Amino acid sequence: MASSLPALSTKTPGILRRPAAPAAGIVHLGLGNFHRAHQAVYTDAAVTAQGGDWGIVGVSSRSSAIPDAMHAQDMLYTVVEISPEGSKFSVPQVHTDAFTAAGNQGRVISAIGDAATRIVSLTVTENGYHYTPATGSLNLKDPAIRHDLVHPAAPRTPIGQIVRGLQHRSRTHAEPVTILSCDNLADNGHHTQRLVREFASLLPPAEAAAALAFIDTRTSFPSSMVDRIVPATTEHYRNLVTARRGYTDRIPVPAEPFTMWIVEDNFIAGRPAWEAGGAVFSDEVAGYEQLKVRLLNGTHSLIAYLGALSGADTIPESVSHTHIELAARSVLRNEYLPSVSVPAGVDVDAYEEQLFSRWRNTALGHGTSQVGSDGSVKLRQRIPLPALEMLDDGRMPQLLALTTASYLSCIAPLAGFDPGPQADAMEDPARGLLAGLAAGARSGKDLAGKVLGDHHLLGDELAERSEFIARTGDFIDIIRSAGPLAAIAEASAHSHPSSLQTTQGRP
């Protein structure tokens, strides 16, 4: 019988246990697979290389599954790097504690407010910031935000938790702290800072003044770009760890070999030596963010939606369809790339080929339903700016309209159209609203008008672009009547390459 993960010793092949985890210096909100395969791995490398009190207190939002398993496994878990060439295994050893925020809100405030905490980091997805996409401001209609404003001891949202933790610091020791967003939001450092300040400004006047003074003088909000494909844990990976490593792990994390972290070096209270794990500190984070959010994430979305509509379970299966790969390359090169300020030294051609190599990783099996989830929030970050640039230039962004149409066909299919089980499995906070609109829509153009025009799904500016809305509707109708392949053919027939040969080094 395989031993459990806590029983590992220095004699276990490939695993060298530290005498003890480093003292806590980081509180991380969002204890999911991505954090455990990304920031935790970089922090483990930093502590191994240079030491330091940079242990991580991991906070799960609602589920206790991962915190419970981590406590049962001596705060350990396995990262399984998956590629067609084989698997590699590692065990990060930097988590000092883990708990669930739900029911423990006071503990979250205490952890953020602890003088030993020097960094509060976040991977809570775009939804976790509780902002209004149309304005970028805090969503004051959100019941959770309204709750946090009037229940200072029991905040439910990450923004509320951070502000209440900062208030605790201000009232007690006033030690500085860095708030580090690691989510796919444009200019995520300033975005987080803006939401934190907005929440603080809504407190009673005396509280607001003290909180804002502390935020403005004793905190920093660096921007960062994170990149690694991390699928969901399945029984397959649990069995793989047991078979290959000889121990039982309830919560292994599968991940691709590729990993990237670009960070603005703006840490008011110090930081780990993350460069030891390969992190890059740069003043061009915005350019890297654009590469990630548009070329990678935006193209990834199109692959996921077209794949789901074509019956593909995984991204590798989807991109193996020649017509989907060609559509993906076209949207990347001709519609997303012209809007990107490419950082110095980045080879766009090599970057594109690297992306497709990653998407073809059949051993990883990243699901189309997972990638396609939460599109109502994700696409708002990816489509509007490049679409508007093309429209202003007198060109129709055919593939961006197809991306939007494919998304709506998956999440809110018109009556009589079955998008398939992969689309049905996609989660989306707007699914109920959009399904209601689809039920009352007479055609794809009618649905696109309601969603994009009336409800401003992709923002106020695109809501005024009737030509883009109409084209999205065209593609919805083609998908319903003739399928995704016909829609790709129609988009390809009317698209044209960008006149921009390269954006490398563009200011």
Q: What is the residue extent of each domain of the chain?
A: 3-7+23-281, 285-494
- CATH assignment, 285-494: 1.10.1040.10
Q: Determine the angle formed by the axes of helices 348-359 and 299-309, rounding to 10 degrees.
A: 30
Please report, as a single letter, which amino acid is at residue 440. G
> Which tokens sit at 328?
């993906």
pLDDT at 129 over 50: yes
Q: Please report which confidence band the pLDDT of residue 11 belongs to, taking 50, 70 and 90 as the band edges.
A: very low
Identify the pLDDT of residue 503. Answer: 38
Q: What's the mean pLDDT in 336-361?
A: 95
Average pLDDT of span 159-169: 98
The arithmetic mean of pLDDT across residues 158-171, rounded, is: 98
Percent of residues, the chain, with pLDDT higher than 90: 88
The reported pLDDT for the residue numbered 505 is 36
Average pLDDT over residues 248-272: 97
Q: Please determine, for residue 169, whether its predicted confidence score (pLDDT) is greater than 60.
A: yes
Q: With H, G, I as helix, E, B as strand and everything else as coil, classify residue 198.
A: helix
Strand extents, DSSP E, 318-448: none
- Which value, in Å, is the radius of gyration of the alpha carbons in the chain? 23
**Average pLDDT value for residue range 331-335:** 98
Residue 20: per-residue pLDDT: 74
Average pLDDT of the chain to the nearest whole number: 93
What single string gives the DSSP state of each residue in 382-417? HSHHHHHHHHHTT---HHHHHHHHHHHHHHSPPTT-
Q: According to the model, what pLDDT value does residue 365 have? A: 82
pLDDT value at position 500?
Answer: 39
What SS3 class is residue 308?
A: helix
Instruction: Give the mean pLDDT of 52-63.
Output: 96
Residue 390: how many other CB atoms lie within 10 Å: 20
Residues contacting residue 141 through CB under 8 Å, at least 6 positions apart: none
Q: Residue 76 has what pLDDT?
A: 94
Residue 71: pLDDT over 90: yes
- What does the pLDDT read at residue 26? 98
Confidence of residue 101 (pLDDT cuts 50, 70, 90): very high
Q: How confident is the model at residue 8 (pLDDT cuts 50, 70, 90)?
A: low
- Sorting pLDDT into bands at 50, 70 and 90, what band is 502? very low
Give the pLDDT confidence of 369-384 residue by residue, as tens digits.
999 999 998 999 899 9
CATH code of the domain made up of 3-7+23-281: 3.40.50.720
Identify the residue with better confidence: 391 or 135: 391
Give residue-wise pLDDT tens across range 110-119.
999 999 999 9
pLDDT at 506: 31
pTM of the predicted model over 0.95: no
Residue 221 confidence (pLDDT) above 90: yes
pLDDT confidence of 497, banded at 50, 70, 90?
confident
Distances (CA, A) of 236 to 72, 96, 242, 254: 21, 28, 10, 10
- pLDDT at position 343 is 93
**Amino acid identity for residue 315 in this structure:** I
Q: Look at residue 499 and tell me whether its pLDDT is greater than 50.
A: no
- The answer on pLDDT for 102 being more than 60 is yes
Q: Do the bridges between strand 79-83 and strand 86-90 make them parallel or antiparallel, or are there none, so unpaired?
A: antiparallel
Place of tokens 């987080």: 192
> Do the strands 3-4 and 95-100 form a parallel or antiparallel pair, or are they unpaired?
unpaired
Mean pLDDT, range 316-341, rounded to an integer: 97
Residue 501 is predicted with a pLDDT of 39
pLDDT of the residue at 84:
86
Euclidean distance between CA atoms 408 and 432, whole angstroms: 12
Range from 100-104, 275-279, 492-496 carrying the lowest mean pLDDT? 492-496
Q: Is 125 left (phi over 0), alpha (psi -120 to 50) or beta?
A: left
Residue 233 to residue 253: CA distance in whole angstroms: 6
Determine the average pLDDT of the residues in 143-163.
97
The arithmetic mean of pLDDT across residues 45-66, rounded, is 96
User: Average pLDDT of 436-459?
Assistant: 96
Res 278 pLDDT > 70: yes
Number of helices and strands (H, E) in the chain? 24, 14
Amino acid (1-letter code) at residue 349: D
* Mean pLDDT confidence for 64-90: 94
Mean pLDDT of the 470-487 span:
98
Flag whether pLDDT at 193 surpasses 50: yes
What's the confidence (pLDDT) of residue 10?
40
Average pLDDT over residues 479-504: 80
In the chain, the percentage of residues whose pLDDT exceeds 70 is 94
> Residues 125-134: what's their mean pLDDT?
88
